[in-house]
Amino acid sequence: MNIYWDYNATTPVDERVLAAMLPFFTTHFGNPSSNTHIKGWDAAEAIKNARSLLADCIGASPSEVIFTSGATEAINLGLKGAAEIFAPQRNHIITVQTEHKAVLDTCLYLESRGIEVTYLSVDSEGLIDIEALKNAFRPETFLVCVMLANNEIGVIQPIKEIADITHHYGAWMMSDCVQAFGKVPVKVDTLGVDIMPLSAHKIYGPKGVGALYLRRRNPRIRLIPQIHGGGHENGLRSGSLNVPGIMGMAKAAEICVESFYTEAIKLKQLRDLLESFILEGTQGKVNGSTTNRLPNVSNLCFPGIKSEYLLMRTPHLCLSSGSACTSALNTPSHVLTAIGLNDSEAYASFRISLGRFTTENEIIEGGSRIRKAILSENPAFNDSKA
C-alpha cells in the first residue's frame, strides 16, 4: 500500500478541480485575449469569474490578482519588481533565514545587483524576534518579506504584527502564503499583507499555475514587470493565460475556503495521533514549534539515525527528508539549522505532511512502518509498537 505523506511538496488534483478544468482544454479552448470572436469572449468570461472567485477567497478585489506560472514566479515578480521600482533610492529588504528558496535565491540575486538584504534569525521554534525586526529597519528599507507558514516545520509567524510594524516604518509587507492557504485563514486585510504569492499545486490544484496578490490602495503597490510581451495581467505578466490551470486554481481555492476549518481539525487530530504513536518510547523529538504550527505537518528528529536511510526502508511511504525544492542538494535543511539543529541532527530529521485524503488507517499503518524502520536502524529503541 502506497501512503502519500508529502502534501507540502505537492498535492493530488482534487476530482472537483479536474472537472472544472477539463472543458477548458477542449470545448472552451479560446484565448481570453482574442477579443474579436465568441471563443475568446467565452474564455475571457471564464477567467473573469475565476479571478473574482480567487479574489473573494483571500478577501481581495479581482484587479488585485495577477496570475502567474506558480509561486516561484510570483515571488520573483514581487521581490524583483519592487526592488526595481524603488531603485536606486531605497535598496534594503528584510527577510528571514527560514524562507523558501524561491525567496532566498531571489534575494541572493538581488544582492548581486546592489540590493542589501537583512536575513533575520529565528528562535528554536522558528519564530522571528520582533525587536530584532524593528532594529533592522533603515530609511532605505522598502520591503519586508516573511512567510506566514513554513513549509518544512509548519511554524506560523505573527504576520499581522509584523505587517503593522512594517507599515509604521513605511515599507511594504510581502508574505509567502503558499503553505498557509487552505490550512489556516488567509485574508489579506486581516493579515495586513500588500504582496502575497500563492500556488495551485499545494491546494489540490494543478502544477504550473499560481497567483500574486498586489494591494491597490493604502499602500498602492506598483511593480516593474519581469516578463514582457503582450501586456497581459495589467502589463505585469505577459504571456497567454493558462486558462485550464487558472480555472483549476480558482476551484481549488474555493474548496479550501469552504472546507479548511473541518479539514484542519481532522488533520490536527491525525497528526497528533501519529506523532505520539511514532515518538512513544523513542528518543525522537519534534522540530520547531508545537503550538504555533500548521495542523498537517510533523518534522521529526531521531538523533543518530540518518533520515536518508530511514526513508530508504519505507519506499512506499512518501516522506521528505527536507523540502522537495532543496532535497536535490545534499546540504542539511537551512530551516533546521536556522532553528538550532546541528548538521547531524538535521540529517536525522524528516518531514511528514498529511492532507485531504489521509485516513486513520494510513496513520496506523504508516506509523508502524516508521517505527519498524527506526528499530532496524537502532535496535535500542522500544519496539512495543513496531
Residue from 80, 202, 232, 293 binding ligand PLP (CB under 6 A): 202
Q: Which of 57, 145, 318, 325 is catalytic?
A: 325
Q: How many residues bind ligand PLP (CB under 6 A)?
A: 14
Active site residue 145: no
- Please state the closest distance from residue 32 (CB atom) to ligand PLP, in A: 21
Residue from 51, 90, 92, 100 binding ligand PLP (CB under 6 A): 100
Stretch that binds ligand PLP, among 36-44, 198-206, 253-261, 366-374 (CB under 6 A): 198-206
By rule CB under 6 A, what string of x and - marks binding of each residue 49-88 to ligand PLP?
Answer: ---------------------xxx----------------
Residue 98 grid cell: 527560514
Closer residue to ligand PLP in complex, CB, 209/279: 209
- Please state the closest distance from residue 368 (CB atom) to ligand PLP, in A: 29
- CA–CA separation, 4 and 324 (whole Å): 14
The residues in 166-195 that bind ligand PLP, with binding defined as CB under 6 A, are 176, 178-179
Q: Return the bridge partners of 196, or none.
A: 213
- CA–CA separation, 335 and 338 (whole Å): 5
- CA–CA separation, 68 and 197 (whole Å): 9
Closer residue to ligand PLP in complex, CB, 91/323: 323
Which candidate, 319, 344, 322, 348, places its Cα nearest to that of 333? 322
The residues in 152-171 that bind ligand PLP, with binding defined as CB under 6 A, are none
Residue from 76, 95, 141, 151 binding ligand PLP (CB under 6 A): 151
Q: What are the distances in angstroms from CA 281 to CA 183, 195, 347, 381?
A: 30, 45, 21, 7
SS3 content of the chain, % helix, strand, coil (to 5): 40, 15, 45
Helix residue ranges per DSSP H, the chain: 15-21, 38-58, 71-86, 101-112, 130-136, 159-168, 188-191, 243-279, 307-312, 334-338, 343-347, 360-377
Stretch that binds ligand PLP, among 199-207, 290-298, 339-347, 358-366 (CB under 6 A): 199-207
Q: Under a CB-based contact definition with an 8 Å cutoff, are residues 4 and 318 in contact?
A: yes
Residue from 95, 199, 282, 358 binding ligand PLP (CB under 6 A): 199
Which candidate, 22, 20, 40, 21, places its Cα nearest to that of 32? 40
Is position 210 an interface residue for ligand PLP (rule: CB under 6 A)? yes
Residue 323 grid cell: 523540502
Binding site for ligand PLP (CB under 6 A): 70-72, 100, 102, 147, 151, 176, 178-179, 199, 201-202, 210
Q: Which residues are catalytic?
A: 325
